[in-house]
Every structure is written in structure tokens, then in C-alpha cells.
Structure 1
């Protein structure tokens, strides 16, 4: 949705196929807008001459500080049973193996 102008919903799409799909579902779109409290009676669909910017591929990864890494180890250790073999530092699921690089 690009805009709501007077009683018209304005959509901006990047391909003709989306324009056609919105036209097919125009009544449903208007019903949904009305259910949200918008007093709309028409839909305008505009195609962009240039492609719209792509959404980011995924969340950016950040490095974890040594302090945060240690806090996570302590938190994990507090959740483990001290007598269990899984809590041993060399065990694959023990606190010593978590977040190792």
C-alpha cells in the first residue's frame, strides 16, 4: 500500500503480474480496508518504471563480545544439572562447548 487518497487505496507494484493479481482481489482488498476502519471505495494500482528495491537477504550477523559469550555460558550452566555428564566441560552439549569459534 503506497497511499490512501480521499476514498481510494493506492498501490505501487513492480510488475504487471502484481497489478493483475490486485485487480482480481480488489473486492477483498476493499473489504479488508473497511474492516480496519478505512472508508475506501476504489483501488488504484500503479506500476513502477524501475524495480522496487529488494528486501535484505537476511539478518545481518554481528559478533558477540567476550562478556556476552561468558554470560551465555554462565546462564547455560545454571540450567544444567551439575551432576549430569552433559554438564562436563568437554561434553558436546556442555557449557564449555557452547559458542566456541
Structure 2
């Protein structure tokens, strides 16, 4: 696993990695945590959980509020390859994005690591 330096308008945090699972709806869940000497500290959710499904190979990126600037950062490291649409959710528009699974694996912590 490699670590990355997360830089958004609200966070400037070295030693970060992705962690992922599935939401109850079955859609991918991805978060970002910071590696600390005593363990990991969760920092933010990358994905937003929408009421309807997103296309296969895509995620809904939470790029508002404290996550403002996250989409641009994810594009800069090659994780987001394309914004395919935007969906309204409450007061915000959520970008639905294709992502690179190889980049996710490169920067992800997996069990046993």
C-alpha cells in the first residue's frame, strides 16, 4: 500500500489511504483515513449514498461541505477518470464518476497490511 498526501481547501493531510467496503444498498463505499503511529484515523467519506443505483464502475462522490475540492484532488491522483453525470440530492448535486480500480488498490489498506 502506498500513502498519498490529501490536499483540499479544508484539509492538508499527509500519510492518507483509502479504505473501502459496501454500503447496505450494495453500492461501493470508499473513505479516506490518515495513517498514525498508533493506528488509523478516519478523515472523510469519499462516496455519498444515494437512494438510486449508480452505473457499474462508478461512484457518487461527496464533493460539498467539508469535502469541497475532493473531486479535483481525486482527479489529480488519477482515481477519478470521468464525471459521467450529476444527480440532485437534497440541496446539492452529486457527481457520478468513473474511477480507476488500480489506483484504488494502489492506495488502499487491506486486511493484514
Superposition TM-score tier, normalisation by shorter sequence: under 0.3
Structure index of larger Rg:
1
TM-score by length of 2: 0.21
TM-score by length of 1: 0.22
Bigger proportion of residues as strand: 2
Bigger proportion of residues as helix: 1
